[in-house]
Chains A and B, each alone.
Chain A
């Protein structure tokens, strides 16, 4: 290591990085973000308040686009709507006009639909919001004329932002299908109404926007445009002849939406909806099962709508209704109150009372296996019960679904709880509204279950639907902050997660218990970020406050210690882990019960530490006991069982019994690789342990065969120095070297060691192990300086 050389190098480098950004008025331009037919967009900041802004300018100061840009900005500034991008400023510098707007942190509509939206319902909700923005513009006489997915951003809170009024038209008063204006041909062919393609173009009216919205809704739901892959000639032909959609549209879209789309995009202006409000009304009516304007109201159709609205009431059996009522009464969180409201069947009441008693995990015991059976029975009952149409019945039904979902969530059975929680949330949302406490509670249970099952997009989406503004500064409710932080942690967006946890600390100041929880949560995030030292600081603080104010046996005191141990594990200080766990384990077993996930996790720390510090026999004994216990708690194939098998495998390797590892885990490969919704980092773990065992046995070719098929995918999907990638890469290198493939080994090992140093730290036993291997394999040390 040559200190002077790197000192001099950085001294020279510093001279080059003094950056002078370009300035337009009070705005500083940072970098280009998009370039399109209309102009270039840059990201920058407003130096007066530090807020991020977008700066847009046309390509050429002399082009027709520049007046468009200005006119569009002027028109947009007439509008004031949460879903329309406001104009902050218009700057003129050297004959170039710059339009400055707030920076929108979001995705284009099509990207949002393909990447974030998880169901048609959320897309339709978003579409209705877009419509409300367009209705607002029409109300102020502004017709957008260039509505398309690229001109609609979706913010991270799931709200849309309509932009680019560059070719919009202003009409006097309110714009309607009767107010028209002469215009040239503008806009994107894919979203351009057929009348605009005719030789004698019709004057502009709101139906142009109606048409574009119809096509947008189609692209949102289907993910493609009906004219995709067609030449311009074919596209013009299809649009002009009024055959935008082919005949299959009705079969591939949700009920009635096909009909609404046809009406919105009709080439006959008189047959098209005459306002955006009419589309909105039809979609809303369709959702409520009411007849829609777009469809001919035959008797059969009206009857089918009636049946849809009242299907529960029509098919309900008296006995099952009684069962439902009584079940809901008991399962509801406010049992006594509900008892007073509804006459309950005593027998069923008893059944569900027992159910609640058996499934509610107390602080003494972990997952109650008996409770699963009763829950499963309740779960089946609720599927066959038909529910009446009245608000009370529907709410009672939601109560039952909620309690079942919540109970499964406590048992870590996301696979079983999800449908119930989802149903409860949807029902509450519809019946009681978004902000009702029941809706919110069901939402949080649903989010927990979605996170447990790694369906992070859906979890985030659910939060979006529960709250107006998901931005960190806007949230006051700690539950949201924790949920979002959890999602971000799982997405490996630890920096973002940390923002939410820090905010959580802010809002939790007044409440000791929440404040300690926030400190613990922040500590665990630091652990995940690979900053165990910062984690130690946060966790020590949590531990000290909890110990003083809540006492030594309180769950938070124990949990903060548990995560401190985790920090030591990350730091590779296995001796300390062993000593600390020995101290804390009896207390945890007493406080939480032997099968509580926290107790099990602490046992796992101990098991790993014992293998790493030379006590594999003890580790093996404990790991096999844990495996047996988990088999009694979970079905075969559950991740908790598989993890216990990894512990056993780890211990077996410590005992020098690699052959048994292969036998133990061979069948798990199929389970993890064919599982739906499994987290990617878990998918190939059986292969890793088996390859490790092969390497230990000297079966390098087998180890290579085990890892070869997955290395590309791991490299592609995981970050460069992700620990899972590093661990697999090391085993793979061992396999290659053992099979005599030494070419390039030294260079690859040097890079690998860099990765280990960065991820695990310089003095971590894992890093030292990799360095020793390199030394042995190549005869050269990495530390040449």
Chain B
């Protein structure tokens, strides 16, 4: 009847693991740390989380190049398989370029192979092509989308509502009215959300300056 009642509040336990992961990512597992972790091919957990995080970029890029979803998925699967099997530790040298750029080269190469295999029986041989600029554009889009999603899942209550409305371009004055907060409080929350999105972008290897 007392503290328990007063302080027990909201939140969905289903996304707890997501939040914890988000939290621990923020606190400890920076991206370089994840990249270091996957240098160990036996680190299954790191590999899974690596694939979960970056496969959407590969898939979206392939789709943006006109691939069918089914083929794009094959490429995503093959890219991460190839990185695992071909000894990532030996192949990726951070002094020679960013990881994002490395992933682009692997993706383009795998995508060309997949397309060639698919068109084996056909008269038309599709070339995958694609430039790193396009890759970076898709990457940005996906990273921002995923960053917003991860922040969305990590906040609740009025912050969640403010984020949803801000993304839908609802003016701060209206948000204040709808949430019962002051405009100052809305601005302050938006500021905090901006910081969080920026920090989540970094997890997806996107420098907020690039946005």
Interface membership of A595, Cβ < 8 A? no
A652–B108 CA distance with the chains assembled, in angstroms: 69
Given the known inter-chain contacts A495-B12, A643-B2, please indicate yes or no for A785 contacting B194, CB distance below 8 A: no
A720 touches B23 (CB 8 A): yes
A94–B67 CA distance with the chains assembled, in angstroms: 11
Contact of B192 among A16, A647, A722, A754 (CB under 8 A): A754
A contact patch SS: helix
A57–B69 CA distance with the chains assembled, in angstroms: 11
Interface stretch (choices A213-221, A342-350, A463-471, A596-604): A596-604
Interface stretch (choices A2-10, A253-261, A653-661): A2-10
Interface membership of A13, Cβ < 8 A? yes
B141 to chain A, nearest CB (A): 5
B20 to chain A, nearest CB (A): 7
Interface membership of B53, Cβ < 8 A? no
A758 touches B2 (CB 8 A): no
Residues of chain A contacted by B191 (CB below 8 angstroms): 1-2, 6, 785
B156 touches A721 (CB 8 A): yes
B197 touches A13 (CB 8 A): yes
Interface membership of A227, Cβ < 8 A? no
Residues of chain A contacted by B69 (CB below 8 angstroms): 22, 29
A573 to chain B, nearest CB (A): 13
Contact of A40 among B10, B73, B158, B197 (CB under 8 A): B73
Q: How many of A's residues come within 8 Å of B, CB to CB? A: 64
A531 touches B148 (CB 8 A): no
B1 touches A719 (CB 8 A): no
Interface membership of B167, Cβ < 8 A? yes
Q: Which residues in window 568-610 of A have CB below 8 A to B?
A: 569-570, 597, 600-601, 604, 607-608
A13–B194 CA distance with the chains assembled, in angstroms: 10
Q: Which residues in window 1-42 of A have CB below 8 A to B?
A: 1-3, 5-6, 9-10, 12-14, 16-17, 19, 22, 29, 40
B3 touches A685 (CB 8 A): yes
Residues of chain B contacted by A494 (CB below 8 angstroms): 9-11
A217–B39 CA distance with the chains assembled, in angstroms: 43
B20 touches A597 (CB 8 A): no
Given the known inter-chain contacts A10-B167, A758-B159, A762-B188, please indicate yes or no for A646 contacting B2, CB distance below 8 A: yes
Given the known inter-chain contacts A529-B157, A720-B19, please indicate yes or no for A647 contacting B2, CB distance below 8 A: yes
A97 to chain B, nearest CB (A): 11
Interface membership of A759, Cβ < 8 A? yes
Contact of A530 among B10, B12, B188 (CB under 8 A): B10
Contact of B188 among A1, A493, A681 (CB under 8 A): A1
B12 touches A492 (CB 8 A): yes
A681–B191 CA distance with the chains assembled, in angstroms: 31
B155 touches A758 (CB 8 A): yes
A5–B58 CA distance with the chains assembled, in angstroms: 31
Contact of A528 among B3, B8, B13, B188 (CB under 8 A): B8
Contact of A57 among B6, B70, B74 (CB under 8 A): B70
Of the A-B pairs whose beta carbons lie under 8 Å apart in the complex, a sample of 18, sorted by A's number, is A1-B184, A2-B191, A3-B172, A6-B190, A14-B169, A61-B70, A491-B13, A530-B10, A530-B156, A601-B2, A601-B5, A643-B1, A719-B11, A719-B19, A719-B156, A721-B156, A722-B9, A758-B157
Seed contacts A9-B211, A597-B1; 9 additional CB < 8 Å A-B pairs: A6-B194, A13-B211, A60-B74, A96-B70, A492-B13, A494-B9, A529-B10, A601-B5, A608-B2
